[in-house]
Each structure stands twice: as C-alpha cells, then as structure tokens.
A and B are shown apart, each in its own frame.
Chain A
Amino acid sequence: MANVSVTVNGVAREADVEPRTLLVYFLRETLGLTGTNVGCDTSSCGSCTVLLDGESVKACTLLAVQAEGREVTTIEGMASNGQMHPIQEAFRRNHGLQCGFCTPGMIMAAASYLRENPSPSEGEVRESLEGNLCRCTGYHNIVQSILDAAGQTAGAKA
C-alpha cells in the first residue's frame, strides 16, 4: 500500500491505497467524492476532469500517488456557501446539460480554461473543449454556457 496526502477541495485528506489506484478512483471510492464521473477507460471522454493545482487534468490519467502534496478541486468544491459557482449557474441558465454525466468534467475544464483565458471567443471555447465529450447537447449550449459565464453573451437564450 502507498500513503497519499492530498488537499481536496481545501481539506487535507490522507489514505493508504494500492499503488495502482488512479486518482479518479481515489476520489470516488476512497474519499466518497462521486461527483467526478468515469466515462471511459481510454482517457478520451473528459468526464473525470478535475483541477490539479488549479489546472484541468483527467483524473483517470494520473495515479493517486502522483497527486501527493498537491491541491485537487473537484465538482463538489465549486459551490460555496450554498451558492453555485458562476459556471454552474451559467450551465443551468443556458440548458448546458441534459443527462448531466459529462457535466462535472465540462465545468472543471471550463473553470481551468477561463482562468487561462477570461474572455474567449466562441471558437476558442470550442477548441478548449476538445478533450471533453458530450453526446446529448451537440455542444451548442455548453459553448453558450461557458461564454455566458465569461460575460461574453447576454446570458439566457430564451
């Protein structure tokens, strides 16, 4: 077993895990943070995207031990004081989700990208989502949600 100490959503967490444990299963099964979903075993879909020291990473591509000493933010860490994060609000306002399974990964990818580029164009948002797959929405309203969160559109489409 390997010991892992990570700060997750601002709280220091520590556990012994099998060395082969992926970060996503450490979050889901060891820490019980099931908001980060697993959609593939091929690093393709981006559903498991979390922030590692503020930057987006697919949590199925990292071993838990590789996160040692670092800060992880998951979808559960986005709302504060009972208020959803502006990106979460924007997804709701723009119908940026249907089944909701890819949504946590989309929101975490958007959070990372908007920190890099706070005023993106539509094309830049589309490009930034290259690593995140959605099968329900056709992406249109996801892109609108992210632009809305960045203050780039008037918001509600309807």
Chain B
Amino acid sequence: MAVTERFVGQPVLRKEDAPLLQGQGSFVDNMSIAGMVHMAIVRSPFAHARVVKVDVSKALEMPGVIAAWSATDLTDEWAGPLPMVWPITEDIKTSDHWPLTKDKARFQGDGVAVVLGESRGLADDGAEAVDVEYDALPAVLDIEDAVRDGAPLVHDELGTNAVVHWSHGGGGDQSLFESAPVKLKLRYEAPRTTPSAIEPRGALASPVPSLGEFTLWTSTQIPHIARVTLSGTTGIPEHKLRIVAPDVGGSFGGKLDVYAEEALCLALARKTGRPVKWIESRSENYSVTIHGRGVIHDIEVAATEGGKILGFHVTELCDMGAYFQLLTPGIPELGGWVYMGPYDTQAYWYEFTGIMTNMTPTDAVRGAGRPEATYVLERAVDALARHLEMDPAEVRRINFVPKFTEDRPSLMGLNVDSGDYLPAFERALELAEYDQYRKEQASRRENGDIKQIGIGLSSYIEMCGLAPSNILGALRYAAGGWDAAQVRCQPSGKVTLYIGTSPHGQGHDTTWAQITADELGVTPDDIEVLHGDTATTPLGMDTYGSRSIAIGGAALHYALQKIKDKARTLAAHELEVSEDDLRFEDGAFRVQGAPDKVRTIPELAVSAWTAHNLPDGFEPDLTATATWDPKNFTWPYGTHVCVAEVDTETGRTELLRYVAVDDCGVVINPMIVDGQVHGGI
C-alpha cells in the first residue's frame, strides 16, 4: 500500500527519543571492552612554565597502574602534530602543537605526561604520583598585554604573540566614511565563553593489533574530519582507522575539534595492544576543551545626522589561546562577512589580529564569529540612536536593505541570496508590544518608579550552510564544504539512509526520515538513519555551521531523486508503459487513467533485489548516493526583542517579553525548529 500521508512540515515525534528516555543511550562512557584500560593525563597547574623534569617512576609503583610516559617518551608515536586546517593567511605564524608538551607548558591544563590504569580512579592516582618539576614563567593572560614590548612569548620561536593578521581589505566608497557628519568610535568586548556540553568529551580506542586496525569511539561532531586528521597525527593509515561518533551529549562547538586525548587513546592502544578509554572530568572540560570568543572589537560607525548609516570600520584583537586548534585562526573572520548585518551601508572595513596567550585555546563556539559581530553591530546601532536621540527601532527601520529575491552583491564581497528584513522586524516589534512598552518605559522614567523597563533589539543576518567549497578554498580552508547521503531501499520495504552529517541532539534521524518518507511514499517508522560511523556512512563533512539540513539534506534530496529515477524505469518496465506515462502521486508510480497500474517504491525495491526481470542494462538493487556542494551560503535573518524589568533598588531583573522572529527556510519539523530556537536563546 502506498503511504499518502505527508510528513514534512509536521511535528513528527523524534525517532531518537525512546532509548535516550530510558537510559539506553550509547554515550562513549557507557561502552566497555574486555581488557580496557583507563587513561589519565598529568596537566600543568601553571599557565606558563618550563618543564624541567618529568619522572613517572613513582606512578609505575602504584597498584593498578599499567604504564606511564612523559611527552618525551612518546615522541616516536607521532607522525605529525595535531591538526590546524585553516591557515587563513600566507604569512600566519604557526608552531607545532603536539599531544603532550615536552619543553614548556603554555596554558593551565597543557598535558605533560600520561598514565594508564586498570580503573579510572587508579589511573588518576597514578597521575597524581607523577613527579613533574616546573620552572614557572611570567604568563600573558590579556591580549593587549600580549602585544606590548617585552611581553613573554607563548611560542618563543615565533618571536611575537601577534601570529596572524587578516584584513578583508574593505569595500565601497571609503571617502564617504571620511566626510561623514557623524562618526562614533566604540569599543566592545566579547569575553571568553565555554561550550559546556553536559556530556564531557570522551574517547575509547580499540586495536586489532594483527591488522594494525583501530576503532575510535569519540564524543565528536566531526567523525569524518577526525579520521583524516587523526590519521595524519598518529600515522595510522586512513583505511585502518574507523571513527564512530555514538550518541553525543551536546557539543556547541566544543566537540568540533580534534584533540590531544583522541590521538593519545589511539597511540596508546597501538603501544599496549589494549583498548584505551579516556573520559574528561568537568574540571578538564573547562580548562582544556576549547573556549569561544575572547575578542576586543573597535568599531567606528559613520552616519548622517538623520541616522542613515554610511559605513562601519571594524578592527579586532582576538585571543587565540595557547595553541591553534582545528579552526582557531579562521573563526574571527566568519564574523567579518556579516558585520554589515541587514543594513544598507556604503563603506566597509574589517580586519583582525589573532594573538597567542597563556590561556585555553579558542575555537568555534555557538555561531563562531558571527554572534560577536551581531552583538557589536547592534550595540553600535543603539549607540548611534542614543547619540542622535532617535528611537533605536527607527534607526534600524531606515537602514534595512530593501527586499531582494535574487543574489545581491554585498560590500564585503559575498552575494547574499535573498532578504526581506523589515517585515520580520515589524512583526517582532508587534509581538513584543514595542510601542506600548516604550510608552510604559517613558512613564516609569518620568515617575521615577523603582521598577524600570529596558528594551533590547537585535536584528541580524547570518552566514549559514557552511559552505561552498570554492569559497572555502579561496579562504585557505583545507577541506571542502559539500556533503553526502546514500539511500538503500531494502527488500522488505524498509529504507536505510547513510548520511554524512553527524548529529548531537539536532534530531537528524527524524527530519531525514521525514524528507525521505514524503519522497518515497513510506512512513518515517520504515526508515533507519545511520550516521557518525566512518565505516558505514559516505564521506561527509559532519555537523557544524548550520549546515546539516542545508547541505546534507540537499544531498539526501538528490539521492532520493536518483532512487525515483531508477524506480521509474523499473515501474515502466513492469507495467509495460512508457516512463512518460507514469506520475509519482500519492506515494506511488501511477498510470494516468489506469488505477490498477500502480507500483510502490517498496514493491520496486523487491524487484530490483530479486533481479528476476529487469530492463536491459538495469543494475540490480535500488540504492543511490549523491553529494551536494552548495552554490552559496544560506543567509537567514531575523529580529529578537527583549523587554526586561529591573528593580533599581535590588538589581533583580525579570523578563517581561522575549520575542524571536527568525527566517528558518522550509520548516521540516516545527517541533524541532522551535526547540532549537529555545536552546539558542
């Protein structure tokens, strides 16, 4: 029977939930393998210190300790340093980042030795017994201090802490900026933040010594990228390394990285021939998992007396931390493409300097570069409104780019695909009862009420759907931005999807099944979605940068069209009609005017599998793979409004309204979309 129900756009309950609700999640720490040992890392308590001596002999005497090594002991384990794949400029100064540091510790938490124990507790006991002699050095903890003359150097061999400078080069008419009647110079800071997934990171490496093969289960967003890069660090050939991202307990960018501990688990599994597990403690999570932000922004706004914005100049100092992690140097620049926001400006300049400090490395956290840009831009627009004594809503209103439906070249050089900013803005104001609250605010100010009202506005555009491969190439990113999906119609009428994205709470199992159900005339319950395992899924680029549906979903769409094209040929053969006489309607191929002439995809999957009667040249099996490399980013936009009440005597703050109007594109599952927006706010 053909399934005629449509699922896209419906709040289909999640396929993922049943095991997670009943304590049957496959999180890394829930896995054990016979013979498994536990890894603990000896970490520097100093932000900056020379490592004088590492003595593991006392640890080796501890009960339950299997082995212990210093960084020097493990030198031969590495085929290369840990990966950094975004050397954003030609003259970027980089230093090798090894899984353990030999000469000096560059941040509090830098690993200097490693211990294996029969249990996690025994490994931790062993790590405490390792004797490390440090010679503490002055540390640089502030990015402005870090570039002053005589500042201590994080990487001595680089000769400076200012290791990368990237300039957009500017766009538009810079002379307009010079002659502008109103110019405001402003400074805003976006302090460091931590991704803080509730599941800490963890990894379990299991060897097959006779074959030199390894499986690494790791709590990651990026199993495919981890495979090729960890192969480079460990020297394990790529085809002998399988990476699995099982259930991943949140990430927010923290697991969009390749870490020392993953490389160490693999190297020590190779060295000992035993499975090696490492589970991050919460304290480690805050000191060694990447941080985000850490940026000082200087922005200059040029405008007319009437509030028309003429241009933005932005210069940033960005805290890279002690090492480049996977994407570190490129993160600020992601903001550099959206600093104009939804506003119609005529002059633009953006540059940043990346600075090494004796702090935890920074990298992508929640939005990565773009939220910082939006924050700074919106603060600047509010400052302009205050300066001109205008309503901040009015300043935004007169500056929005008018509606456009085709690619619009923007000053920063990328084409924005479409936008209609003003209606989203007006809708947000209406829902928040902006005008009434402005009046209420004015009256309370006048009366000197103890409880005062503040109203915050934020309009934005975001560069999502990372990313067109050719643009990534132009930005010196080492990989592409395409993704892949494979569809296999099984003989029993079920469908298996093998996808290249790797979810960690976003509900891909459900949404990918909804798309497929509508295309193939089956139900989401008939569909299994496999992901996050490099041994079974097609080579994809994983999950980050709001890319999964935009790119992976499009790859799935094209794979489904291939399935339908093939199925159509088979249906025409079986029904003895021309392919042109077939319509795919109500979940099946149908011949116009002949209601008994119907073939469903599951029926055709059986025919393709038995292969007893196929058209000439038709390959058995109903399976297809497709990739999709996007032509542009997606450019969503929207406005958020917050109305807060502050008790001016106690400081107690209450939210009276929070309204979000976001351009979500095609909503596949409104329940999941709402949940994602709630979480983001």
> Which A residues have a C-beta under 8 Å from some C-beta of B?
18, 20, 28, 33-42, 44-45, 47, 74-76, 78-79, 84, 88, 91-93, 95, 97-104, 107, 133-138, 140-141, 156-158
Q: Give CA–CA (A137, B507) in the complex, Å.
A: 13
B516 → A minimal CB distance (Å) = 21
Q: Give CA–CA (A107, B22) in the complex, Å.
A: 10
Q: Would you mind naming 16 contact pairs between A and B with Cβ atoms under 8 Å apart?
A: A37-B198, A39-B282, A75-B22, A75-B23, A76-B23, A92-B21, A95-B13, A99-B249, A100-B20, A100-B25, A101-B25, A101-B249, A135-B198, A135-B250, A136-B675, A138-B678
Q: Nearest chain-A residue to B282 (Cβ)? A: A40
Q: Give CA–CA (A141, B675) in the complex, Å.
A: 7
Q: Which residues of B from 126 to 182 have beta carbons under 8 Å from A?
A: none
Q: Give CA–CA (A45, B680) in the complex, Å.
A: 19
Q: Nearest chain-B residue to A98 (Cβ)? A: B505
Contact A98 B250 (CB under 8 A): yes
Contact B22 A45 (CB under 8 A): no
For residue B199, CB closer than 8 A to chain A, the reply is: yes
Q: Give CA–CA (A39, B200) in the complex, Å.
A: 6
Q: Nearest chain-A residue to B285 (Cβ)? A: A40
* Majority DSSP secondary structure for residues of B touching A: loop
Contact flag A100-B679 (CB < 8 Å), given A37-B27, A133-B198:
no
Contact B22 A35 (CB under 8 A): yes
B198 → A minimal CB distance (Å) = 4
Q: Nearest chain-B residue to A47 (Cβ)? A: B198
- CB contacts (< 8 Å) of A137 on chain B: these are 675, 678-679
Q: Nearest chain-A residue to B250 (Cβ)? A: A99
Q: Give CA–CA (A95, B672) in the complex, Å.
A: 7
For residue B281, CB closer than 8 A to chain A, the reply is: yes
- CB contacts (< 8 Å) of B29 on chain A: these are 28, 34, 37-38
B114 → A minimal CB distance (Å) = 19
Contact A41 B198 (CB under 8 A): no
Contact A157 B249 (CB under 8 A): no
Contact A91 B23 (CB under 8 A): no
Q: Give CA–CA (A99, B505) in the complex, Å.
A: 4
- CB contacts (< 8 Å) of B281 on chain A: these are 41
Contact A45 B23 (CB under 8 A): no
Q: C-beta contact mask, B272-312 vs A, less than 8 Å → 1, else 0? A: 00000001011100000000000000000000000000000
Q: Give CA–CA (A137, B681) in the complex, Å.
A: 9
Contact B670 A158 (CB under 8 A): yes
For residue B18, CB closer than 8 A to chain A, the reply is: yes
Q: Which residues of B from 5 to 54 have beta carbons under 8 Å from A?
A: 11, 13-14, 16-18, 20-25, 27, 29-30
B49 → A minimal CB distance (Å) = 24
With A98-B507, A133-B198, A135-B198 given, name 4 new contacts (CB 8 A): A101-B25, A107-B21, A137-B679, A158-B670
Contact A92 B13 (CB under 8 A): yes
- CB contacts (< 8 Å) of A45 on chain B: these are 198, 282
Q: Which residues of B from 498 to 522 have beta carbons under 8 Å from A?
A: 504-507
Q: Give CA–CA (A99, B675) in the complex, Å.
A: 12
Contact flag A98-B23 (CB < 8 Å), given A34-B29, A92-B17:
no
Contact flag A157-B671 (CB < 8 Å), given A36-B23, A92-B21, A101-B27:
yes
- CB contacts (< 8 Å) of B319 on chain A: these are none
For residue B85, CB closer than 8 A to chain A, the reply is: no
Q: Nearest chain-B residue to A40 (Cβ)? A: B282
Q: Give CA–CA (A135, B504) in the complex, Å.
A: 12
Picked from B121, B250, B676, B678, the residue with its CB within 8 Å of the CB of A101 is B250
For residue B496, CB closer than 8 A to chain A, the reply is: no
Q: Give CA–CA (A95, B669) in the complex, Å.
A: 11
